[in-house]
C-alpha cells in the first residue's frame, strides 16, 4: 500500500511539473499562432495528426475499460477458461485495416504538403522572375547574416521581408551546424557548413500587423554556450515599403556630424573596421565577412540580438561582450577601451541608420 501511494505521489508530482512547464515560453515564439501559408499548412497537419492520435486513444481506452468490466473474474468462476478467439480473421483484418486507413489519411496531406513546401524552382537564377525575392542566410557563432543577392545588399540580425508573397532562402553556416527557425511563420531548416538548404516562407500582412510587424527567429540547433541567445528579428512590411528600404540600403553611407560620434568613428576605423562593414553594399567575399554588417545598426531591434536597443546596453556589450554572449568571437579582439572611448563608439554606432 505504501509503495502504491509513493508511486501515485511521484506520478502526481511529474504531472503537475509537466503542466507548469507546458505554460513556459513566449507567445511570440509559439508555432500555435501560425502567420503565413507555410505555418498554416504545418499547423493543419499538427491538428490532423493530433486528432487521429486522440481518436485512437479514446477508442482504445473505451475498449480497454469495456473488456476489463465485461470479462472480469467473477466469484465462483475462478477456474473458468474464457472463450478463446485466436485466429479470428475478422478481428485480425479489422485491427490491420484500421491503422492502415488512419496512416493513409495522415500520409496523403503530409506528402502533398512536403512536396509543396519543397518547391523552390522559382528561385532558380536562370528562370527567376525579377520580383522573386531570394535571401542568402548565413549562420555564425552567434549571429546571422542576411544577403539580398539580386540587390547587392547585406545586413545582419534583422531580416526585412515583404508580406503576402513567397520569400526564398538559401541557408548555410560558416562554422558549426545551426538551424534557421521563425516559429510563427514556418518550420526550421538546418544551416550546414558543407552544403546549402533551400526553402520558402510567406509572411501574412494581417498577422504581421498583429505582431507589430516583428516576428522572432531563433537558432534551433545546439551550437555552443550562447545557442539560446542566437536570436534574430524579422521585419515584415508591405512590398512598396520593402522596395523603399532596399533603395535606402543601396545608397546608405555613414554621415557623422556629432563631435563625439566623430571620435567614435576614429576609434571604429582603428579597432573594428577589419571585421565589421558600415555600408550595406559590401562586396567582400563571405570568408572576409567575419562579423555582422553594421550599415543600419541604429535601426535595429536589439543589441547583439538579445538586449534592448539603447546606448546603455550597447555600452554594456562593448565593455564586456562575454557577459552577454559567452563564447562569442568578439571578446578580446579590440583591446581595452576607456569609458570615454566606449561612449564615443556607442554614439557613432547608434548614428548608423538608413531610416
Mean pLDDT lowest among 75-79, 194-198, 252-256, 261-265: 75-79
pLDDT (tens digit per residue) in 137-192: 999 999 999 999 999 999 999 999 999 999 999 999 999 999 999 999 998 999 99
Per-residue pLDDT averaged across 92-111, rounded? 92
Per-residue pLDDT averaged across 309-330, rounded? 94
The more confidently predicted of residues 202 and 85 is 202
The yes-or-no verdict on residue 87 having pLDDT over 90 is: no
- The mean of the pLDDT values for the chain is 90
Per-residue pLDDT averaged across 258-281, rounded? 92
The yes-or-no verdict on residue 8 having pLDDT over 80 is: no
CA atoms of 223 and 228, how far apart (whole Å): 9
Backbone angles phi, psi at 80, to 5 degrees: -80, 130
Q: What is the pLDDT of residue 6?
A: 64
Mean pLDDT lowest among 37-51, 121-135, 320-334: 121-135
Q: What is the pLDDT of residue 1?
A: 55
Q: What is the pLDDT of residue 76?
A: 76
Q: How far is CA 224 from the centre of its chain?
A: 17
Q: What is the pLDDT of residue 28?
A: 67
Q: What is the pLDDT of residue 326?
A: 94
Per-residue pLDDT averaged across 61-74, rounded? 87
Sorted by where each starts, the structural domains of the chain and their CATH numbers stand as: 2-73+84-117 (1.10.287.90), 131-355 (2.60.40.420)
Stated pTM of the model: 0.86
pLDDT (tens digit per residue) in 18-34: 777 666 666 667 888 89
The yes-or-no verdict on residue 227 having pLDDT over 80 is: yes
The yes-or-no verdict on residue 219 having pLDDT over 70 is: yes
Q: What is the pLDDT of residue 23?
A: 65
For 276: left if phi > 0, alpha if psi spans -120 to 50, otherwise beta; the answer is beta
The yes-or-no verdict on residue 93 having pLDDT over 60 is: yes
SS3 assignment for the chain: CHHHHHHHHHHHHHHHHHHHHHCCCCHHHCCCCCCCHHHHHHHHHHHHHHHHHHHHHHHHHHHHHHHHHHCCCCCCCCCCCCCCCCCCHHHHHHHHHHHHHHHHHHHHHHHHHHHHHCCCHHHCCCCCCCCCEEEEEEEECCEEEEEECCCCEEEECEEEEECCCEEEEEEEECCCCEEEEECCCEEEEEECCCCCEEEEEECCHHHHHHCCCEEEEEECCCCCCCHHHCEEEEEEECHHHHHHHHHHHHHCCCCCCCHHHHHHHHHHHHHCCCCCCCCCCCCCCHHHCCCCCCCCHHHCCEECCCEECCHHHHHHHHHCHHHHCCCCCCCCCCCCCCHHHHHHHHHHHHCCCCC
The yes-or-no verdict on residue 302 having pLDDT over 90 is: yes
Q: What is the pLDDT of residue 211?
A: 85
Per-residue pLDDT averaged across 86-98, rounded? 85
Contact by Cβ (8 Å): 203, 234: yes
Amino acid at each position: 500500500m505504501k509503495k502504491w501511494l509513493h508511486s501515485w505521489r511521484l506520478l502526481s508530482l511529474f504531472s503537475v511539473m509537466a503542466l507548469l512547464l507546458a505554460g513556459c515560453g513566449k507567445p511570440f515564439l509559439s508555432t500555435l499562432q501560425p502567420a503565413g501559408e507555410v505555418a498554416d499548412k504545418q499547423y493543419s497537419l499538427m491538428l490532423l495528426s493530433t486528432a487521429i492520435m486522440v481518436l485512437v486513444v479514446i477508442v482504445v481506452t473505451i475498449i480497454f475499460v469495456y473488456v476489463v468490466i465485461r470479462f472480469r473474474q467473477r466469484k465462483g468462476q475462478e477456474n473458468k477458461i474464457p472463450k478463446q478467439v485466436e485466429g479470428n480473421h475478422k478481428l485480425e483484418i479489422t485491427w490491420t485495416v484500421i491503422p492502415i486507413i488512419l496512416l493513409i489519411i495522415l500520409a496523403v496531406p503530409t506528402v502533398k504538403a512536403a512536396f509543396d513546401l519543397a518547391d523552390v524552382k522559382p528561385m532558380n537564377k536562370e528562370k527567376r522572375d525579377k520580383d522573386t525575392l531570394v535571401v542568402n542566410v548565413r549562420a555564425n557563432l552567434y549571429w546571422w547574416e542576411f544577403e539580398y543577392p539580386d540587390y547587392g545588399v547585406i545586413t545582419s540580425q534583422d531580416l526585412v521581408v515583404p508580406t503576402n508573397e513567397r520569400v526564398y532562402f538559401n541557408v548555410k553556416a560558416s562554422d558549426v551546424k545551426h538551424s534557421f527557425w521563425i516559429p510563427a511563420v514556418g518550420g526550421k531548416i538546418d544551416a550546414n557548413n558543407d552544403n546549402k538548404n533551400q526553402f520558402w516562407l510567406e509572411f501574412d500582412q494581417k498577422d504581421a500587423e498583429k505582431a507589430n510587424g516583428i516576428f522572432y527567429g531563433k537558432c534551433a540547433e545546439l551550437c555552443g554556450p550562447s545557442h539560446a541567445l542566437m536570436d534574430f528579428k524579422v521585419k515584415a512590411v508591405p512590398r512598396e515599403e520593402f522596395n523603399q528600404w532596399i533603395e535606402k540600403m543601396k545608397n546608405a553611407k555613414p554621415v557623422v556630424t556629432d563631435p563625439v560620434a566623430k571620435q567614435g568613428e576614429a576609434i571604429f576605423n582603428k579597432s573594428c573596421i577589419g571585421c565589421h562593414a558600415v555600408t550595406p553594399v559590401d562586396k567582400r567575399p563571405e570568408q572576409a565577412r567575419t562579423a555582422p554588417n553594421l550599415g543600419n545598426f541604429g535601426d535595429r531591434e536589439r543589441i547583439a540580438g538579445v538586449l534592448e536597443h539603447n546606448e546603455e546596453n550597447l555600452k554594456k556589450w562593448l565593455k564586456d561582450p562575454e557577459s552577454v554572449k559567452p563564447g562569442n568571437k568578439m571578446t578580446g579582439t579590440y583591446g581595452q577601451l576607456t569609458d570615454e572611448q566606449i561612449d564615443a563608439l556607442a554614439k557613432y554606432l547608434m548614428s548608423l541608420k538608413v531610416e
